[in-house]
C-alpha cells in the first residue's frame, strides 16, 4: 500500500506509542484522525505536530468503551473525510493487579477498551474500507497476549483476544482488507512502573535491552506497506517471548 494520501485513524493517539504512530503516518503523507478520550490537551498538541507535516488532520474525542460513541466517531469521520483507508487500533488500558485482586469493574473496563472497542472499531472501519476498494488494519497487541504475565492477567487475556480478532478478521475481510497485529514488548514504561523495574525488564529479552516507540512504529508501517501479509502478528520484543 502506498501511504501518501490515505486516510488513517489511530485510536489512542494523543500520547505514548499511538502518538508516535500518527506522526510517522503523517510523515508518510497520510491524512490523520487523532483520537483521544480524556487527553484533550495532549491530543491537540499532537494535532499541531501532525499538521506541521502538511497533511489534513483532525482530533476527535470518543470513549471507545461505549459502543454508541464508536458509531458517532466514525460518523464524524464520514463528514470530514468521506471514508477511511487505514485503522491502527492502539487505544488500550493496562492495570497492574494480580489474579486474586481483580474485581469485576477491572475486568469490564479492560475488556471494553482493549478488546470490544478494537472489534467494533475494526468493524466500522471495514464497512468504510469496502466502499473504497479495500484498506489495511494494524491492531496493537502485546507480547503478554502471547506469553502470560501474572501481574497483568486481564490485560494478557484481552490482548490474547486481539490476537484471535486479527486472524478472524483477516479471514473474513480478505482479499480487499488486510488485518495484522504488532505485539510489542517493553517499549515505554507504564506510569505505575518504577525505573528499577523497567531496567530489570531488559534482562528478560535476548537483546538485553528494552525497545523504543520507534521500533513499534517501524513494524506498523512495514505491515501497512506490504500488500502480501495478512493475519499475522509481528512480535517486537527483542526475543522476550522466546525465553
Which residues are known catalytic residues?
152, 159
- Alpha-helical (H) ranges within 112-211 are 117-131, 153-173, 195-201
Q: Is 84 within 8 Å of 77 (Cβ atoms)? A: yes
Other Cβ atoms less than 10 A from the Cβ of 153: the count is 21
Q: What is the DSSP letter of 113?
A: I
Strand order in the sheet with 31-36: 57-61, 31-36, 7-10, 86-89, 135-140, 177-184, 233-236
Alpha-carbon distances, residue 80 vs 37, 58, 87, 132, 157 (angstroms): 19, 9, 16, 15, 35
Q: How far apart, in whole angstroms, are the C-alpha atoms of residue 20 and residue 18?
A: 5
Beta bridge partners of 17: none
Phi, psi of 17 (to 5 degrees): -65, -35
CB neighbour list of residue 83: distance below 8 Å, 6 or more residues apart: 7, 128, 129, 131, 132
Q: How far apart, in whole angstroms, are the C-alpha atoms of residue 70 and residue 64?
A: 6
Q: Pairing between strand 31-36 and 233-236?
A: unpaired
Amino acid at each position: 500500500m502506498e501511504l501518501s494520501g490515505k486516510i488513517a485513524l489511530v485510536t489512542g493517539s494523543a500520547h505514548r506509542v499511538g502518538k508516535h504512530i500518527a506522526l510517522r503516518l503523517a510523515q508518510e503523507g497520510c491524512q490523520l484522525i487523532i483520537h483521544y478520550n480524556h487527553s484533550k490537551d495532549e491530543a491537540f498538541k499532537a494535532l499541531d505536530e501532525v499538521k506541521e507535516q502538511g497533511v489534513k488532520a483532525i482530533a476527535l474525542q470518543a470513549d471507545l468503551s461505549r459502543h454508541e460513541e464508536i458509531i458517532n466517531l466514525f460518523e464524524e469521520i464520514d463528514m470530514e473525510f468521506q471514508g477511511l483507508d487505514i485503522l491502527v487500533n492502539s487505544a488500550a488500558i493496562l492495570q497492574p493487579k494480580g489474579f486474586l485482586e481483580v474485581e469485576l469493574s477491572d475486568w469490564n473496563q479492560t475488556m471494553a477498551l482493549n478488546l470490544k472497542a478494537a472489534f467494533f472499531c475494526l468493524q466500522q472501519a471495514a464497512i468504510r474500507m469496502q466502499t473504497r476498494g479495500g484498506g489495511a488494519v494494524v491492531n496493537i497487541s502485546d507480547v503478554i497476549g502471547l506469553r502470560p504475565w501474572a501481574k497483568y492477567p486481564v490485560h494478557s487475556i484481552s490482548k490474547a483476544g486481539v490476537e484471535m480478532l486479527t486472524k478472524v478478521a483477516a479471514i473474513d475481510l480478505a482479499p480487499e482488507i488486510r488485518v495484522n497485529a504488532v505485539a510489542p514488548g517493553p517499549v515505554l514504561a507504564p506510569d505505575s512502573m518504577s525505573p528499577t523495574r523497567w531496567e530489570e525488564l531488559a534482562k528478560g529479552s535476548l537483546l538485553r535491552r528494552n525497545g523504543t516507540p520507534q521500533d513499534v512504529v517501524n513494524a506498523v508501517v512495514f505491515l501497512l506497506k506490504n500488500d502480501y501479509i495478512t493475519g499475522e502478528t509481528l512480535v517486537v520484543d527483542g526475543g522476550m517471548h522466546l525465553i
